[in-house]
Amino acid sequence: MDANPSVLIIDDDAEFRDSVGRLLRSVGLESRQFSCVSEYLSADPAPDGPTCLVVDVRMPGRSGLDLQCELSAAHRNLPMIFITAHGDIPMSVRAMKGGAIEFLTKPFRDQDLLDAIMTGLARDRARRENDKALGALRERFDTLSPREREIMTQATAGRLNKQIANDVGIAESTVKVHRSNLMRKMKARSLPELSRMVDALGLPQQRPQRS
């Protein structure tokens, strides 16, 4: 079970923040409130569970769109829902191109906001699960010897044991041993599964030039 999901509300309107907080509590969601982008960045909240941001577009100081740019530059891919009382088409287009979940204009239906938040939390939960799986995959890859890594990339590039042995300069029987060991270490049940792991890790699949 992952940690409880949470929603971070960034808006200079205290009444609006409280209203959204009450709405979220009514459906069992936790929230934290911030009056501006600077306050949010200073607090630097890093919830353990799935997270979604509800952000006003226009606030004193940095805007919600500024925050979107800053988070993107820092590779912090948190789902964002923009709220505004004075939106326009260029603004909404910019937000959505930046990856926003939704762009809602006040007044809006509570259900529209809740639907967007649920979508954002689901997206962040999936991202966290993918990151966790990739981290575990990298840990398994780190246990491979340099020779096993070399054979792994060649095997998934379609090279046969005999060809790999000739490329690397070792006995074919030794290649088979290395392949068996690396399959066990990577917990791969088949060559196609190992190939997907190579793709996920971003490893090159280049055929060696040695004859």
- What strands, in cross-sheet order, belong to the sheet with 102-105? 30-34, 6-10, 51-56, 80-84, 102-105
| Exposure class string for 19-46: b at 16+ Cβ within 10 A, else e | ebbebbeeeebebbbbbbbeebeeeeee
User: At a CB cut-off of 8 Å and minimum separation 6, what does 129 contact?
Assistant: none
Cis peptide before 107 (omega within 30 of 0): yes
Tokens representing 157 are: 């590039």
- At 209 the pLDDT is 45
- The pTM of this model reads 0.78
DSSP assignment string, 98-157: TT-SEEEESS--HHHHHHHHHHHHHHHHHHHHHHHHHHHHHHHHHTS-HHHHHHHHHHHT
- Give pLDDT tens digits along the chain (211 positions): 457 899 999 999 999 999 999 999 999 999 999 999 999 999 876 778 899 999 999 888 899 999 999 999 988 889 999 998 876 788 888 888 888 999 998 889 999 999 999 999 999 999 999 999 999 999 999 999 999 999 999 999 999 999 999 999 999 999 999 999 999 999 999 999 999 999 999 987 655 444 4
* CA angle 35–90–73, rounded 5-degree value: 60
Instruction: Give the model's pLDDT for residue 206.
Output: 57
